[in-house]
Structure 1
Protein backbone atom coordinates (compact mmCIF):
# COMPACT_ATOMS: atom_id res chain seq x y z
CA UNK A 1 0.00 0.00 0.00
CA UNK A 2 1.37 3.41 -0.92
CA UNK A 3 2.13 5.70 1.98
CA UNK A 4 -0.08 8.68 2.70
CA UNK A 5 0.87 12.10 3.92
CA UNK A 6 -0.83 14.42 6.35
CA UNK A 7 0.18 17.95 7.25
CA UNK A 8 -0.84 18.64 10.81
CA UNK A 9 -1.63 22.32 11.02
CA UNK A 10 0.21 23.23 14.17
CA UNK A 11 2.24 26.17 12.92
CA UNK A 12 4.00 28.71 15.09
CA UNK A 13 4.71 32.05 13.46
CA UNK A 14 6.99 34.82 14.74
CA UNK A 15 7.74 37.83 12.61
CA UNK A 16 9.49 41.13 13.11
CA UNK A 17 10.70 43.70 10.59
CA UNK A 18 9.68 41.47 7.67
CA UNK A 19 11.32 38.23 8.89
CA UNK A 20 9.35 35.06 9.50
CA UNK A 21 10.10 32.06 11.71
CA UNK A 22 7.74 29.04 11.51
CA UNK A 23 7.52 25.34 12.18
CA UNK A 24 5.40 22.67 10.47
CA UNK A 25 4.58 19.13 11.62
CA UNK A 26 4.05 16.35 9.06
CA UNK A 27 2.92 12.73 9.42
CA UNK A 28 3.66 9.98 6.89
CA UNK A 29 1.72 6.76 7.39
CA UNK A 30 0.69 3.40 5.94
CA UNK A 31 -1.89 2.50 8.58
CA UNK A 32 -3.28 3.63 11.92
CA UNK A 33 -0.53 1.72 13.75
CA UNK A 34 2.01 3.97 15.48
CA UNK A 35 4.93 1.90 14.17
CA UNK A 36 3.83 2.67 10.57
CA UNK A 37 3.98 6.44 11.11
CA UNK A 38 6.85 8.86 10.68
CA UNK A 39 6.68 12.23 12.41
CA UNK A 40 8.69 15.14 11.02
CA UNK A 41 8.86 18.65 12.41
CA UNK A 42 10.69 21.27 10.36
CA UNK A 43 11.74 24.73 11.51
CA UNK A 44 12.00 27.50 8.89
CA UNK A 45 13.39 31.00 8.71
CA UNK A 46 11.56 32.73 5.88
CA UNK A 47 11.56 29.94 3.25
CA UNK A 48 14.75 28.18 4.35
CA UNK A 49 14.58 25.01 6.45
CA UNK A 50 16.99 25.35 9.36
CA UNK A 51 16.58 22.15 11.35
CA UNK A 52 14.34 19.07 11.32
CA UNK A 53 13.33 16.31 13.71
CA UNK A 54 12.60 12.90 12.18
CA UNK A 55 11.11 10.11 14.27
CA UNK A 56 12.65 7.49 11.95
CA UNK A 57 16.12 8.91 12.74
CA UNK A 58 15.22 9.66 16.35
CA UNK A 59 17.08 12.96 16.38
CA UNK A 60 17.32 16.51 15.02
CA UNK A 61 19.28 17.26 11.85
CA UNK A 62 20.53 20.74 10.93
CA UNK A 63 20.68 22.16 7.40
CA UNK A 64 22.35 25.51 8.07
CA UNK A 65 25.14 26.63 10.36
CA UNK A 66 22.63 27.80 12.96
CA UNK A 67 20.50 24.67 12.39
CA UNK A 68 23.42 22.31 13.03
CA UNK A 69 24.24 24.10 16.29
CA UNK A 70 20.58 23.91 17.33
CA UNK A 71 20.42 20.20 16.43
CA UNK A 72 23.49 19.42 18.55
CA UNK A 73 21.99 21.31 21.49
CA UNK A 74 18.50 19.78 21.20
CA UNK A 75 19.80 16.22 20.71
CA UNK A 76 21.61 16.51 24.03
CA UNK A 77 18.55 17.63 25.99
CA UNK A 78 15.01 16.49 26.72
CA UNK A 79 13.68 17.65 23.34
CA UNK A 80 14.15 14.30 21.55
CA UNK A 81 12.01 12.47 24.11
CA UNK A 82 9.44 15.25 23.88
CA UNK A 83 9.22 14.90 20.08
CA UNK A 84 8.61 11.15 20.41
CA UNK A 85 5.57 11.81 22.59
CA UNK A 86 4.36 14.43 20.10
CA UNK A 87 4.35 11.73 17.40
CA UNK A 88 1.87 9.67 19.38
CA UNK A 89 -0.24 12.63 20.45
CA UNK A 90 -0.38 14.40 17.08
CA UNK A 91 0.00 11.75 14.38
CA UNK A 92 -1.91 8.83 15.85
CA UNK A 93 -4.86 10.98 16.90
CA UNK A 94 -5.23 12.91 13.64
CA UNK A 95 -4.57 9.94 11.38
CA UNK A 96 -7.25 7.95 13.22
CA UNK A 97 -9.73 10.71 12.40
CA UNK A 98 -8.42 10.85 8.83
CA UNK A 99 -9.02 7.14 8.27
CA UNK A 100 -12.50 7.28 9.77
CA UNK A 101 -13.61 10.34 7.81
CA UNK A 102 -12.02 9.73 4.41
CA UNK A 103 -9.98 6.61 3.73
CA UNK A 104 -12.70 4.14 4.73
CA UNK A 105 -15.20 5.76 2.34
CA UNK A 106 -15.73 4.63 -1.22
CA UNK A 107 -17.54 5.82 -4.35
CA UNK A 108 -18.96 3.49 -6.98
CA UNK A 109 -17.70 3.92 -10.54
CA UNK A 110 -19.83 4.34 -13.61
CA UNK A 111 -18.85 2.86 -16.96
CA UNK A 112 -19.09 4.10 -20.53
CA UNK A 113 -18.42 1.55 -23.28
CA UNK A 114 -17.87 2.79 -26.83
CA UNK A 115 -16.18 1.86 -30.09
CA UNK A 116 -13.64 3.85 -32.07
CA UNK A 117 -11.84 3.28 -35.36
CA UNK A 118 -8.15 4.06 -34.88
CA UNK A 119 -6.23 5.31 -37.89
CA UNK A 120 -3.43 3.06 -39.11
CA UNK A 121 -4.33 0.17 -36.78
CA UNK A 122 -4.23 -3.47 -37.86
CA UNK A 123 -7.58 -4.09 -36.18
CA UNK A 124 -10.67 -2.47 -37.71
CA UNK A 125 -12.31 -1.80 -34.34
CA UNK A 126 -11.25 -0.74 -30.85
CA UNK A 127 -13.52 -0.84 -27.84
CA UNK A 128 -12.88 1.66 -25.06
CA UNK A 129 -14.13 0.99 -21.53
CA UNK A 130 -14.00 4.26 -19.60
CA UNK A 131 -14.53 4.13 -15.83
CA UNK A 132 -15.26 7.38 -13.99
CA UNK A 133 -15.75 8.87 -10.51
CA UNK A 134 -14.49 6.01 -8.32
CA UNK A 135 -12.69 6.07 -4.96
CA UNK A 136 -10.39 4.68 -3.62
CA UNK A 137 -7.80 4.54 -6.38
CA UNK A 138 -7.22 0.77 -6.60
CA UNK A 139 -9.38 -0.77 -9.36
CA UNK A 140 -9.28 -3.64 -11.86
CA UNK A 141 -10.70 -3.38 -15.39
CA UNK A 142 -10.81 -6.45 -17.62
CA UNK A 143 -12.54 -7.88 -20.69
CA UNK A 144 -14.59 -11.00 -21.41
CA UNK A 145 -15.30 -12.57 -24.79
CA UNK A 146 -18.13 -15.09 -24.62
CA UNK A 147 -17.50 -15.41 -20.89
CA UNK A 148 -13.74 -16.02 -21.23
CA UNK A 149 -11.15 -13.53 -20.00
CA UNK A 150 -9.32 -11.64 -22.74
CA UNK A 151 -5.57 -11.33 -22.13
CA UNK A 152 -4.24 -10.12 -25.49
CA UNK A 153 -4.68 -6.86 -27.44
CA UNK A 154 -5.61 -5.04 -24.22
CA UNK A 155 -4.01 -1.78 -23.06
CA UNK A 156 -5.02 0.36 -20.09
CA UNK A 157 -4.12 3.77 -18.73
CA UNK A 158 -3.03 4.37 -15.16
CA UNK A 159 -5.62 5.58 -12.68
CA UNK A 160 -5.85 9.33 -13.24
CA UNK A 161 -6.85 11.72 -10.46
CA UNK A 162 -9.66 14.15 -11.27
CA UNK A 163 -8.53 16.57 -8.56
CA UNK A 164 -11.68 16.07 -6.48
CA UNK A 165 -10.77 12.79 -4.69
CA UNK A 166 -12.20 10.77 -7.60
CA UNK A 167 -10.32 8.83 -10.27
CA UNK A 168 -10.82 7.64 -13.83
CA UNK A 169 -9.23 4.92 -15.95
CA UNK A 170 -9.58 3.77 -19.58
CA UNK A 171 -9.05 0.28 -21.02
CA UNK A 172 -8.75 -0.42 -24.77
CA UNK A 173 -9.47 -3.68 -26.56
CA UNK A 174 -8.50 -4.21 -30.21
CA UNK A 175 -10.49 -6.99 -31.79
CA UNK A 176 -11.84 -8.51 -35.01
CA UNK A 177 -15.66 -8.55 -34.78
CA UNK A 178 -17.24 -11.98 -35.11
CA UNK A 179 -20.92 -12.67 -35.60
CA UNK A 180 -22.76 -13.71 -32.45
CA UNK A 181 -19.90 -13.11 -29.99
CA UNK A 182 -20.50 -11.34 -26.67
CA UNK A 183 -17.92 -8.87 -25.40
CA UNK A 184 -18.09 -7.35 -21.92
CA UNK A 185 -16.09 -4.93 -19.78
CA UNK A 186 -15.66 -6.08 -16.17
CA UNK A 187 -14.86 -3.66 -13.34
CA UNK A 188 -13.83 -4.76 -9.83
CA UNK A 189 -13.65 -2.15 -7.09
CA UNK A 190 -13.87 -1.92 -3.30
CA UNK A 191 -17.17 -0.03 -3.54
CA UNK A 192 -18.86 -2.89 -5.44
CA UNK A 193 -20.33 -5.98 -3.80
CA UNK A 194 -19.83 -7.87 -7.06
CA UNK A 195 -18.05 -7.08 -10.37
CA UNK A 196 -19.75 -4.50 -12.57
CA UNK A 197 -20.27 -6.07 -16.01
CA UNK A 198 -21.13 -3.90 -19.01
CA UNK A 199 -22.00 -5.68 -22.27
CA UNK A 200 -21.17 -4.27 -25.67
CA UNK A 201 -24.08 -3.98 -28.12
CA UNK A 202 -22.64 -4.10 -31.64
CA UNK A 203 -26.06 -3.85 -33.34
CA UNK A 204 -25.54 -0.17 -34.08
CA UNK A 205 -22.39 1.95 -33.91
CA UNK A 206 -22.44 4.67 -31.31
CA UNK A 207 -22.34 7.45 -33.91
CA UNK A 208 -25.41 5.99 -35.62
CA UNK A 209 -27.19 5.63 -32.28
CA UNK A 210 -26.54 9.29 -31.57
CA UNK A 211 -27.82 10.33 -35.00
CA UNK A 212 -30.91 8.19 -34.54
CA UNK A 213 -31.58 9.73 -31.11
CA UNK A 214 -31.23 13.25 -32.51
CA UNK A 215 -33.48 12.44 -35.48
CA UNK A 216 -36.13 10.88 -33.26
CA UNK A 217 -36.10 13.87 -30.95
CA UNK A 218 -36.57 16.22 -33.91
CA UNK A 219 -39.46 14.13 -35.26
CA UNK A 220 -41.25 14.14 -31.91
CA UNK A 221 -40.77 17.89 -31.55
CA UNK A 222 -42.18 18.44 -35.05
CA UNK A 223 -45.26 16.33 -34.27
CA UNK A 224 -45.89 18.22 -31.04
CA UNK A 225 -45.67 21.59 -32.80
CA UNK A 226 -47.97 20.41 -35.62
CA UNK A 227 -50.54 19.14 -33.15
CA UNK A 228 -50.43 22.40 -31.21
CA UNK A 229 -50.98 24.37 -34.43
CA UNK A 230 -53.92 22.20 -35.43
CA UNK A 231 -55.60 22.61 -32.02
CA UNK A 232 -55.10 26.38 -32.17
CA UNK A 233 -56.64 26.52 -35.66
CA UNK A 234 -59.72 24.50 -34.62
CA UNK A 235 -60.34 26.72 -31.61
CA UNK A 236 -60.14 29.89 -33.71
CA UNK A 237 -62.49 28.40 -36.33
CA UNK A 238 -65.23 27.77 -33.74
CA UNK A 239 -65.55 31.48 -32.86
CA UNK A 240 -65.56 32.69 -36.49
CA UNK A 241 -68.83 33.72 -38.35
CA UNK A 242 -68.83 32.46 -41.90
CA UNK A 243 -70.32 34.88 -44.54
CA UNK A 244 -71.63 33.30 -47.76
CA UNK A 245 -70.00 34.56 -50.88
CA UNK A 246 -72.27 36.43 -53.34
Structure 2
Protein backbone atom coordinates (compact mmCIF):
# COMPACT_ATOMS: atom_id res chain seq x y z
CA UNK A 1 0.00 0.00 0.00
CA UNK A 2 1.15 3.55 -0.56
CA UNK A 3 -0.14 7.04 0.15
CA UNK A 4 0.90 10.16 -1.76
CA UNK A 5 1.16 13.48 0.06
CA UNK A 6 2.71 16.88 -0.48
CA UNK A 7 5.57 18.10 1.68
CA UNK A 8 6.30 21.83 1.68
CA UNK A 9 8.85 22.15 4.46
CA UNK A 10 11.78 22.01 2.03
CA UNK A 11 10.61 24.68 -0.37
CA UNK A 12 12.90 27.21 1.32
CA UNK A 13 15.90 24.89 0.86
CA UNK A 14 15.76 24.58 -2.92
CA UNK A 15 18.81 26.76 -3.44
CA UNK A 16 20.71 24.90 -0.73
CA UNK A 17 19.74 21.42 -1.84
CA UNK A 18 20.00 22.02 -5.56
CA UNK A 19 22.73 24.58 -6.21
CA UNK A 20 23.26 25.61 -9.78
CA UNK A 21 19.59 25.68 -10.80
CA UNK A 22 19.20 28.16 -13.63
CA UNK A 23 16.37 30.17 -12.03
CA UNK A 24 14.89 33.26 -13.66
CA UNK A 25 15.50 36.54 -11.86
CA UNK A 26 14.00 39.98 -12.66
CA UNK A 27 15.66 41.45 -15.72
CA UNK A 28 16.93 38.11 -17.04
CA UNK A 29 15.52 36.45 -20.17
CA UNK A 30 12.28 34.52 -19.62
CA UNK A 31 12.86 30.81 -19.20
CA UNK A 32 10.39 28.02 -18.35
CA UNK A 33 11.24 25.74 -15.45
CA UNK A 34 9.38 23.60 -12.93
CA UNK A 35 10.51 22.31 -9.56
CA UNK A 36 8.61 19.47 -7.87
CA UNK A 37 8.90 17.77 -4.52
CA UNK A 38 7.18 14.39 -4.15
CA UNK A 39 6.88 12.36 -0.98
CA UNK A 40 5.70 8.74 -1.09
CA UNK A 41 5.07 6.34 1.78
CA UNK A 42 5.23 2.57 1.25
CA UNK A 43 3.62 0.23 3.77
CA UNK A 44 4.20 -3.49 4.32
CA UNK A 45 1.86 -5.45 6.63
CA UNK A 46 0.13 -2.32 7.82
CA UNK A 47 2.73 -0.18 9.57
CA UNK A 48 5.06 -3.04 10.47
CA UNK A 49 7.50 -1.78 7.85
CA UNK A 50 7.28 1.77 6.51
CA UNK A 51 9.51 3.37 3.89
CA UNK A 52 9.62 7.05 2.92
CA UNK A 53 10.83 8.13 -0.51
CA UNK A 54 11.27 11.90 -1.02
CA UNK A 55 12.12 12.97 -4.56
CA UNK A 56 13.15 16.32 -5.97
CA UNK A 57 12.37 16.82 -9.65
CA UNK A 58 13.46 19.62 -11.95
CA UNK A 59 11.86 19.96 -15.39
CA UNK A 60 10.48 16.39 -15.19
CA UNK A 61 13.91 14.96 -14.34
CA UNK A 62 14.58 13.50 -10.88
CA UNK A 63 17.73 15.08 -9.51
CA UNK A 64 17.86 14.19 -5.81
CA UNK A 65 16.16 11.67 -3.53
CA UNK A 66 15.97 10.58 0.09
CA UNK A 67 15.27 6.95 1.00
CA UNK A 68 14.51 6.30 4.67
CA UNK A 69 15.84 2.74 4.30
CA UNK A 70 19.23 4.20 3.36
CA UNK A 71 19.05 7.28 5.58
CA UNK A 72 20.86 9.71 3.27
CA UNK A 73 20.27 11.85 0.19
CA UNK A 74 21.35 10.35 -3.10
CA UNK A 75 22.15 12.29 -6.27
CA UNK A 76 20.31 10.84 -9.25
CA UNK A 77 22.47 12.79 -11.70
CA UNK A 78 26.21 13.46 -11.48
CA UNK A 79 25.62 17.20 -11.54
CA UNK A 80 23.79 16.96 -8.20
CA UNK A 81 26.42 15.04 -6.24
CA UNK A 82 27.52 18.24 -4.52
CA UNK A 83 23.87 18.86 -3.55
CA UNK A 84 23.63 15.42 -1.96
CA UNK A 85 26.89 15.98 -0.11
CA UNK A 86 25.64 19.33 1.19
CA UNK A 87 22.36 17.78 2.39
CA UNK A 88 24.03 14.82 4.07
CA UNK A 89 26.30 17.19 5.99
CA UNK A 90 23.20 18.62 7.71
CA UNK A 91 22.58 16.03 10.41
CA UNK A 92 19.49 17.82 11.70
CA UNK A 93 18.00 17.69 8.19
CA UNK A 94 18.67 13.94 7.92
CA UNK A 95 17.09 13.38 11.34
CA UNK A 96 14.05 15.45 10.33
CA UNK A 97 13.52 13.41 7.17
CA UNK A 98 13.94 10.13 9.02
CA UNK A 99 11.44 11.27 11.66
CA UNK A 100 8.81 11.81 8.97
CA UNK A 101 8.47 8.03 8.70
CA UNK A 102 6.49 8.35 11.95
CA UNK A 103 5.22 11.94 11.91
CA UNK A 104 3.92 11.81 8.33
CA UNK A 105 3.74 8.25 7.02
CA UNK A 106 2.46 6.38 10.07
CA UNK A 107 0.34 9.35 11.15
CA UNK A 108 -1.39 9.61 7.77
CA UNK A 109 -1.85 5.83 7.67
CA UNK A 110 -3.70 5.78 10.99
CA UNK A 111 -5.74 8.86 10.04
CA UNK A 112 -6.83 7.10 6.85
CA UNK A 113 -7.47 3.59 8.15
CA UNK A 114 -9.37 4.66 11.28
CA UNK A 115 -11.57 7.22 9.54
CA UNK A 116 -15.27 6.28 9.23
CA UNK A 117 -18.41 7.81 7.79
CA UNK A 118 -21.89 6.58 8.73
CA UNK A 119 -24.01 5.32 5.82
CA UNK A 120 -27.47 6.60 4.90
CA UNK A 121 -30.03 4.03 3.70
CA UNK A 122 -33.25 4.54 1.75
CA UNK A 123 -35.63 2.25 -0.17
CA UNK A 124 -37.62 3.32 -3.21
CA UNK A 125 -39.43 1.48 -6.03
CA UNK A 126 -38.03 1.91 -9.52
CA UNK A 127 -41.53 2.59 -10.93
CA UNK A 128 -44.92 3.60 -9.61
CA UNK A 129 -46.83 0.38 -10.11
CA UNK A 130 -49.92 -1.07 -8.43
CA UNK A 131 -49.55 -4.18 -6.29
CA UNK A 132 -49.33 -7.59 -7.99
CA UNK A 133 -47.19 -6.06 -10.75
CA UNK A 134 -43.51 -6.73 -11.31
CA UNK A 135 -41.28 -3.98 -9.94
CA UNK A 136 -37.79 -3.28 -8.67
CA UNK A 137 -37.01 -2.09 -5.15
CA UNK A 138 -33.82 -0.06 -4.85
CA UNK A 139 -31.88 0.05 -1.59
CA UNK A 140 -29.62 3.10 -1.83
CA UNK A 141 -26.65 3.17 0.57
CA UNK A 142 -24.71 6.43 0.45
CA UNK A 143 -21.92 8.44 2.11
CA UNK A 144 -20.14 5.54 3.82
CA UNK A 145 -16.46 4.90 4.54
CA UNK A 146 -14.56 2.60 4.54
CA UNK A 147 -15.72 0.78 1.46
CA UNK A 148 -16.41 -2.59 3.12
CA UNK A 149 -20.19 -2.99 3.19
CA UNK A 150 -22.69 -5.85 3.25
CA UNK A 151 -26.24 -5.30 2.01
CA UNK A 152 -28.94 -8.00 2.20
CA UNK A 153 -32.62 -8.11 1.24
CA UNK A 154 -35.37 -9.75 3.33
CA UNK A 155 -38.93 -10.52 2.30
CA UNK A 156 -41.29 -11.07 5.24
CA UNK A 157 -38.23 -11.75 7.46
CA UNK A 158 -36.80 -14.35 5.06
CA UNK A 159 -33.56 -13.51 3.27
CA UNK A 160 -33.83 -13.15 -0.50
CA UNK A 161 -30.85 -14.20 -2.61
CA UNK A 162 -32.46 -14.59 -6.04
CA UNK A 163 -33.39 -11.54 -8.05
CA UNK A 164 -30.80 -9.39 -6.27
CA UNK A 165 -28.65 -7.12 -8.44
CA UNK A 166 -25.99 -4.71 -7.23
CA UNK A 167 -24.02 -1.89 -8.79
CA UNK A 168 -20.25 -1.70 -8.23
CA UNK A 169 -19.02 0.58 -5.48
CA UNK A 170 -19.25 4.18 -6.65
CA UNK A 171 -16.75 6.76 -5.39
CA UNK A 172 -18.27 10.12 -4.47
CA UNK A 173 -14.96 11.94 -4.73
CA UNK A 174 -14.90 12.95 -1.05
CA UNK A 175 -13.55 9.67 0.39
CA UNK A 176 -17.06 8.24 0.68
CA UNK A 177 -18.84 5.60 -1.37
CA UNK A 178 -22.34 4.67 -2.46
CA UNK A 179 -23.94 1.51 -3.78
CA UNK A 180 -27.37 0.50 -5.10
CA UNK A 181 -28.69 -2.98 -4.35
CA UNK A 182 -31.90 -3.89 -6.20
CA UNK A 183 -34.46 -6.63 -5.65
CA UNK A 184 -36.99 -7.87 -8.20
CA UNK A 185 -40.42 -8.05 -6.56
CA UNK A 186 -44.08 -8.68 -7.27
CA UNK A 187 -45.48 -7.20 -4.05
CA UNK A 188 -48.67 -8.48 -2.48
CA UNK A 189 -50.75 -6.57 0.10
CA UNK A 190 -49.10 -6.84 3.51
CA UNK A 191 -45.65 -7.82 2.22
CA UNK A 192 -42.71 -6.28 4.07
CA UNK A 193 -39.36 -5.88 2.34
CA UNK A 194 -36.30 -5.05 4.43
CA UNK A 195 -32.90 -3.75 3.41
CA UNK A 196 -30.31 -4.92 5.95
CA UNK A 197 -26.95 -3.13 6.09
CA UNK A 198 -23.73 -3.99 7.92
CA UNK A 199 -20.78 -1.59 7.98
CA UNK A 200 -17.65 -1.14 10.15
CA UNK A 201 -18.83 2.31 11.30
CA UNK A 202 -22.01 0.85 12.83
CA UNK A 203 -22.34 -0.71 16.27
CA UNK A 204 -25.37 -2.63 15.01
CA UNK A 205 -26.85 -3.19 11.53
CA UNK A 206 -29.26 -0.71 9.95
CA UNK A 207 -32.60 -2.07 8.73
CA UNK A 208 -35.05 -0.11 6.59
CA UNK A 209 -38.50 -1.50 5.74
CA UNK A 210 -40.76 -1.00 2.74
CA UNK A 211 -44.42 -2.00 3.17
CA UNK A 212 -46.62 -3.12 0.30
CA UNK A 213 -49.87 -1.26 0.97
CA UNK A 214 -53.10 -1.65 -0.96
CA UNK A 215 -54.66 1.46 -2.48
CA UNK A 216 -57.29 1.64 0.26
CA UNK A 217 -54.62 1.36 2.97
CA UNK A 218 -52.61 4.12 1.31
CA UNK A 219 -55.72 6.33 1.18
CA UNK A 220 -56.40 5.73 4.88
CA UNK A 221 -52.81 6.57 5.75
CA UNK A 222 -52.92 9.76 3.67
CA UNK A 223 -56.24 10.68 5.27
CA UNK A 224 -54.75 10.20 8.73
CA UNK A 225 -51.76 12.35 7.83
CA UNK A 226 -54.10 14.99 6.39
CA UNK A 227 -56.02 15.13 9.67
CA UNK A 228 -52.90 15.12 11.83
CA UNK A 229 -51.10 18.00 10.11
CA UNK A 230 -53.86 20.66 10.62
CA UNK A 231 -54.18 19.58 14.25
CA UNK A 232 -50.45 20.01 14.72
CA UNK A 233 -50.62 23.48 13.15
CA UNK A 234 -53.46 24.60 15.46
CA UNK A 235 -51.59 23.20 18.47
CA UNK A 236 -48.54 25.24 17.52
CA UNK A 237 -50.60 28.40 17.09
CA UNK A 238 -52.22 27.83 20.48
CA UNK A 239 -48.84 27.51 22.18
CA UNK A 240 -47.64 30.72 20.52
CA UNK A 241 -50.75 32.63 21.69
CA UNK A 242 -50.42 31.31 25.25
CA UNK A 243 -46.77 32.32 25.33
CA UNK A 244 -47.60 35.85 24.21
CA UNK A 245 -50.51 36.46 26.61
CA UNK A 246 -48.92 34.67 29.57
CA UNK A 247 -47.17 37.71 31.14
CA UNK A 248 -50.27 39.92 30.74
CA UNK A 249 -52.45 37.30 32.46
CA UNK A 250 -50.09 37.19 35.44
CA UNK A 251 -50.27 41.00 35.72
CA UNK A 252 -54.07 40.90 35.86
CA UNK A 253 -54.06 38.28 38.59
CA UNK A 254 -51.71 40.34 40.75
From 39, 47, 51, the equivalent of 2:53 is: 39
Matched residues in 2 for 1:124 and 1:132: separation? 26
User: The residue matched to 2:6 in structure 1 has which SS?
Assistant: strand
Q: Is 1:141–1:171's contact at 8 Å kept on the other side of the alignment? A: yes
User: The residue matched to 1:194 in structure 2 has which SS?
Assistant: coil
Aligned to 1:28: 41
How far is 1:139 from its partner? 1.9
Q: Is 1:143–1:150's contact at 8 Å kept on the other side of the alignment? A: yes
Aligned to 1:244: none
CA offset digits 1:5-38 (Å, max 9, x no partner): 3333334255424554634131234476262444
1:171 lines up with 2:181 in the alignment: yes
Q: Which TM-score applies when normalising by structure 2?
A: 0.60
How far is 1:43 from its partner? 1.8
Q: Is 1:154–1:174's contact at 8 Å kept on the other side of the alignment? A: yes
How far is 1:103 from its partner? 3.8
How far is 1:78 from its partner? 9.5
Matched residues in 2 for 1:137 and 1:144: separation? 22
5+ residue gaps, structure 2: 16-22, 238-254
Aligned to 1:4: 3
From 186, 189, 192, the equivalent of 2:196 is: 186
Change (3 A) 1:181 1:11: same
User: The residue matched to 1:199 in structure 2 has which SS?
Assistant: strand
Q: Which TM-score applies when normalising by structure 1?
A: 0.62
RMSD: 4.5
From 27, 31, 50, the equivalent of 2:62 is: 50
The 5 Å alignment of 1:195-206 reads: 195-203=205-213
Pairs aligned (count) = 209
Aligned to 1:125: 135
CA offset digits 1:72-103 (Å, max 9, x no partner): x48x97979x9986664223211333345554
Matched residues in 2 for 1:128 and 1:216: separation? 28
The 5 Å alignment of 1:1-246 reads: 3-12=2-11, 13=14, 15-17=23-25, 18=30, 19-20=32-33, 22-30=35-43, 33=47, 35-45=49-59, 48-51=60-63, 53=65, 55=67, 62=76, 68-70=77-79, 73=81, 88-99=98-109, 101=111, 103-117=113-127, 124-178=134-188, 180-203=190-213, 212=222, 216=226, 220=230
Matched residues in 1 for 2:68 and 2:10: separation? 21
5+ residue gaps, structure 1: 63-67, 228-246
Matched residues in 2 for 1:141 and 1:130: separation? 10
Would you identify which runs of 4 or more consecutive aligned residues in structure 1 move more than 6 Å? Answer: 56-59, 76-80, 82-86
User: The residue matched to 1:16 in structure 2 has which SS?
Assistant: coil
Q: Is 2:190–2:211's contact at 8 Å kept on the other side of the alignment? A: no
